[in-house]
Structure formats: structure tokens, C-alpha cells
Amino acid sequence: MKKILSNIFPAIPVAIVLGSMIFSHSCANTTTPPTGGPKDTIPPTIVEIYPALGQVNVPVHKTKLKLEFDEYVVVKDPKSLYLSPPLEKAPLHKIKGKSVIVYFDGDLDSNKTYTLDVTNAIADNNEGNMFPGYTLVFSTGERIDSMVVTGLVQDCNTLMPLKGATVMLYKDHADSAIFLKRPDAAVKTDEWGFFCLRNIQDTLYRMYAIIDDNNNNIYEAENEKVAFIDTLIRPVVMVSDSLPELMKYDMKDTLNCLARKTEYELNIFREKPSKQMIVNKERIGERTAYITFMAPYAQVDSIWIKGVPAEKLITQFNLVQDSLEIWVNDPRPQPDTLFLNVKYMKTDTLGLLNSFTEEIKLAKPRKSVAAKASKKDIKKEDTTAVFTMDAKPENIEQYGFVMEFKYPIVESAFDSLVFRSVNPRQQESIGKYTVTQDSLNLRKYVIMPSEKFQQGYEYFLKIPHRKFRDINGFYNDSSEVKVTLPSDDKLSSLTLNLSGVNNKYIVDLLNEKRDKTLRSYIITGDTSLLFPYLKAGKYSIRITEDLNRNGIVDTGNLLEHKQPEKVRFYKLEDGTFLIDIPEMTELEQAIDINEMFN
């Protein structure tokens, strides 16, 4: 039946919609249905709309909008019924026959152009075929605004497009507007991170984008992410029937979706919290605890535990100094509750940082070693200085042997380690090595052999018995790890020849999805980087500009008009960001860093 109707009535919706568009070229609203796929997946089609597209003088009180379809439909996602400019409360809806009736809890403003976007909101009632989308434009005044701006919203670190971000325009140029007011125009991004703010006034705006978790169209800095354009913007493009950016495409239509022009690029980031306080604390072992702060770079003056001598306390901040690990260097049983005192700069009720001493009660965890009922519950790790050894064949040349203890060690004999190699002729030799303690993790050590690794050789690192003692008073067991360089002749390599390096940069090799870092280097000058032992596949090269040279990607600050540190992905000549590496290939790629960032 549905197929018969689709053959009989196609001219009806076309005639109605085109007829309502004749009066003004500025009210273009073209819907392109998805192509391809099975013939029985026809999406619903609009046959009638009210008010008519581009209608003016629409009443502001008890306003109702009607979208009638050629079949029965359901509203799959009410949040995708999006009105711009947004009201205090989201639009409401009801189904009446084959129509979706949209109404509002409150009056509309007078003399204003509105758009109701229904993309990703409506599907047919039977098969669930999604309606590709539509934007109804109308005005409560005498005219329809006719300008448009487009752009892209992406994550500041991965540069991946963000779906569902709210892009907002403000005629109020004050920095506080985004915190206090709803925008003068807004729209949600699609699956490609693309947005099109249409039928807006020809005036100056401030542009923002937020991940609006509570859908109130106001930025809440403590919980939400934000992006902004540094300067005021003014629309330069007028709405037009032929403008591809106004059309509604199937999100699987890669060619057309990527062909849309974007005027602005917004990089979403999470700001550092403005308030400083201790937000979490936990005792995770007999002698181990941690506390976390709301904001990074906590200013701690002193820390002590009641009844524990100062020299028995070991502490360590993480890189951004918002998490502090604490250990008691005393093998004797500790009290059921430790009273930790922290003197630090805390935000007061006026929003100012002041010195404050906070006492924290740290109760012993239920499953502690001391609470074990009998000897049968005691495990090997409960009486041994536990450590792990990481020695991956594909990156042993860069990272060496990484040894990490579960607890800080108080006695060590790294000179007792034995590093040896066995060549293809089974001849054994003892090698030299260096030991470096990790600057950010006092429990981690890097053992780097002095000799160059060679193909066909076997390498062994032996840790003798009872050479390391941790804060629990336990000694290590003996262990030996073996590693050889990858020998699969199908593996490939990538060499990056980097020039124009006039600052500090972080160079990362990522997998195809950009969700895993495979190799990482820090560079400060022109150099060549080798990425060996790569399986056939697609990879991305991410380069981060580390302006303050702290080795991390620093976030932005909205009120200080500070953007997050720049991240760029190497783009190939065909415009893609993925390097396709085949088997048994040695690739070289030249990258001009200065050109890439400037």
C-alpha cells in the first residue's frame, strides 16, 4: 500500500512546498531524501505545513506549528525538535493523525524570525524510516531575516566532528552573555559536526558552541564544554534556493556532506574549573590513599597525618597537580582511621583563594591485608613487593624496559639487574644499561640498554630475588623478561622528516579511529622520526603545539579569550587525514611544521 501511495501522491507535497516558496527567494528550504538502499525503506514525506514556509505576522500567543506527512509518524527524539531562537523551555509536541503538532509553553517574541528544525526527530510509524529533516521558517513580524552562516564543531584534541553540539549567536557582545542569556540564534550540529544557522539578521555576533548537557541553552562552565570564535562575526551569505548547505542530506551521503562549505571552525574544550577545593578522597590500602582537587595546579603548603612522623610520609602529584597520592612508609599496622590534614589554597564563599587547613578522615578499606581472617586468604602479592615489567617488542627500542612497583620502594639495588643478549649463534654477552626514575611516577623506572637492539638477537633482563623492598616491608621475587625485535617481514615502517620546527611539539602516531596513541615523541627542532614495525593499515599523525613546553595539551579559557593549544593532523594531498600503509613498505613523508600551523 505504501508503495502505491508513493507513486500516486509525489506531486502533492512538491506543489504545496514549492508554492509556498515562490513568494520569496530568501526562504529556501530544500530536502534531499537519502538515496540507495532497499525499495521498502521510503521515508515519510511532508504534504502540508502550517504556518506556510516564510509566513510573516504569525501570532505569538498559543502558537502551534503543524507538519503533516503522507503516513503515520512518531517523534523518535523530542530534543531534535529545535526552535531558534530557543525559548526558556523546549518545544512540546503531540501526534494528531498523520500530523506532528508543535507548541510552546510560553509566548513567542514579537518581530522575530524563527526556525523550527526537525532533523533526526521524526520516523514513520511502521518501518521506523527516519525523515531526513526539514526547517520551517516563519516570522512574528513583517519580514523574514535572510542571512546564513555555516561551520564545523570538533573536539580540540582529536579534531573529530561532534554531533549534537549547540552553536549559538549573541548580539550581546559581553563575555557574560553566554552564562546568563539564551542566544539570539542557535542550531544543533549533525553527525559530521556541521551546522547551518539560517535566516538570521545581518548584524555583528559573538559565536560559541557548547555541549549542552541539560539542554537549557546556557553555558554552565563547571559541567559543560565550550568553543568560541576569537572575533565578532557578521554573516556574508544570503539564503538561497541553490545553496547546498541548506539542504538536508542522508548522513551516509559522504560526498555531499563533505562538499558543504564551512565558514567557521570551533574547537570544543573543557575549561579548568574556577573553584578550588578537595572533591574526593579515599584510602585504598593499609598505607595508601589519594585525594583529588576540583581544579588543576592545587597550591598545597603542607600535608601531615596525625601520629605519623613527617619523614614517614610519601606524596606525589600527577602532571596537572589535581590528584595527590599518599603513602605511609611504615610496615607496622596502621590505625583503622587515618586523620589527614591538608593546608592549601581553597576558594572561599567570595570566590577568592585563601589558605585553609582541611582535616580528612581516611577509614581503612574493608578488604585490607590486616582484615584477612586466615592464612588461606593470604595471596602471594600480599607478602611480596609487587611490580610489573613492560617490554613490548615493537617499541622496546624507544621505551626500553619499564618497571613499575605497586608501592614506593625504600630499598633498591638496580645495579644487581642482569641484562644479557644471545645472538643467532647462541653466543651470550652481558650488556650495560641505565636506570631512570619517571619524573611523574616515583614507582616507575625505565631500564634502557646501552647497546643497539639487533634483529635475530634475544634479550633478557633478570631481576634477582630480594633486591627491592617496598613500604610494606616486603621484598621482591626474582623475575626474568625476554624480548626480541619483531621479525615479521610483512611489517612496514614510516619515517617523518620534520622541518620548520621552531617550538616544542608533541608528535603522536594514532590508529585509524584516532582513539589510541601507538607512539609518541617530543621534538624541539628539525628531525626525522622513525615509526617501525607497523602492520598494514591506516594511521593518523597528530602534532600538538606545546607553547608553554610542559609536555601536555593545555585547555582554553573563555573569559581570558584563550584557545586550547593548537592540534593539527597531517593532511594528505587528497584532503584526507589517514596514511594508508601497505605491507612490506618503507614510507617517508616530509612535513613542514611551520606551514602546518601558520
Q: What is the pLDDT of residues 362-420, one digit of tens each?
A: 999 876 544 454 555 667 667 899 999 999 999 999 999 999 999 999 999 999 999 99
Q: What is the CATH number of the domain that holds 168?
A: 2.60.40.1120
pLDDT of 552? 78
The answer on pLDDT for 505 being more than 50 is: yes
Instruction: Give the pLDDT confidence of 42-57 residue by residue, as tens digits.
Output: 889 999 999 999 999 9
Tell me: do 325 and 386 sit in the same domain.
no
Q: What is the pLDDT of residue 5?
A: 38
Question: Do 100 and 229 sit in the same domain of this protein?
Answer: no
CB 88 within 8 A of CB 104: no
Q: What is the pLDDT of residue 382?
A: 74
435: pLDDT strictly greater than 90: yes
Q: Is residue 590 a part of any domain in this protein?
A: yes
Domain boundary among 483, 518, 548: 483
Confidence of residue 16 (pLDDT cuts 50, 70, 90): very low
Domain identity same for 202 and 248: yes
Q: Answer yes or no: do 288 and 324 share one domain.
A: yes
Checking if the pLDDT of 12 tops 60, the result is no
Nearest Cα to 381, choosing from 475, 511, 317?
Answer: 475
- Name the DSSP letter for residue 595: H
Yes or no: say if 235 and 19 are a contact pair by the CB < 8 Å rule: no
Query: What is the residue whose three cell numbers read 557548547?
Result: 210
Instruction: Tell whether 375 is covered by a domain.
Output: no
How high is the pLDDT of residue 375? 53
Question: Cα(577)–Cα(262) distance, rounded to whole angstroms?
Answer: 18
If asked whether residues 227 and 161 sit together in one domain, one would say yes
What pLDDT sits at residue 98?
94
Which pLDDT value is given to residue 8? 40
Between 34 and 295, the more confident residue is: 295
Q: Is the pLDDT of residue 18 over 50?
A: no
Q: What is the mean pLDDT of residues 513-539?
A: 94
Which residues sit opposite 90 in a β-bridge? Answer: none
The secondary structure of 20-82 as a DSSP string is HHTT-GGG---B-----S-TT-PPP-EEEEESPTTB-S--SSS-EEEEEESS-EEES-GGG-E
CB 89 within 8 A of CB 103: no
Whole-number Å distance between alpha carbons of 261 and 247:
12
Same domain, 450 and 429: yes
The 10 Å CB-count burial string (b at 16+, else e) for 456-477 is: ebebebebeeebbbbbbebbbb
Q: Do 161 and 206 belong to one domain? A: yes
Query: Which of 339, 370, 401 delimits the end of a domain?
Result: 370
Q: Based on the fold, state whether residues 299 and 235 are members of the same structural domain.
A: no
Which of 434, 461, 483 marks a domain boundary?
A: 483
471-498 pLDDT per residue, tens: 999 999 999 999 999 999 899 999 999 9
Kindly report the CATH number assigned to the domain that includes residue 360: 2.60.40
Question: Does the residue 31 lie in any domain?
Answer: yes
Q: Mark whether 250 and 164 lie in a shared domain.
A: yes
273 within some domain:
no
Torsion over CA of 231, 237, 238 and 240, rounded to 10 degrees? -140
Residue 3's pLDDT band, with cuts at 50, 70 and 90, is very low
pTM: predicted TM-score of the whole model, two decimal places: 0.78
Residue 515 is assigned to a structural domain of this protein: yes
> Which domain, by its residues, includes 238?
147-268
Number of domains in the chain: 5
Q: Contact at 8 Å (CB) between 212 and 227?
A: no
Residue 368 and residue 384 in contact, taking contact as beta carbons nearer than 8 Å: no
- 364-378 pLDDT, tens digit per residue, is 987 654 445 455 566
Place of cell 559522504: 254
Q: Are 515 and 537 in contact (CB under 8 A)?
A: no
- Shared-domain flag, residues 134 and 151: no
**Contact by Cβ (8 Å): 341, 305:** yes
Contact 392, 401 (CB under 8 A): no
Q: Which amino acid is at 338?
A: L
Can you tell me the distance from the alpha carbon of 87 to that of 8, in angstroms, rounded to the nearest whole number?
40
Are the beta carbons of 83 and 115 closer than 8 angstroms? yes
Report how far residue 574's alpha carbon sits from residue 564's, in angstroms, rounded to the nearest whole number. Answer: 28
Cβ atoms of 494 and 528 within 8 Å: the answer is no
**For position 35, what pLDDT does the model report?**
55
Is 181 in contact with 208 (CB distance < 8 Å)? no
Evaluate whether residue 587 is within a structural domain: yes
Residue 376 domain flag: no
Is the pLDDT reported for residue 289 higher than 60?
yes
Using CA atoms, how far residue 569 sits from 226, 500, 518, in Å, is 21, 16, 15
Rounded Cα–Cα distance for residues 276 and 292 (Å)? 10
325 and 245 inside one domain: no
Please give the pLDDT value at position 564.
Answer: 93
Q: Residue 433's beta-bridge partner residues?
A: 449
Judgement on whether residues 516 and 559 belong to the same structural domain of the protein: yes
pLDDT at res. 368: 57
479 falls within a domain? yes
CATH number, domain with residue 9: 2.60.40.1220
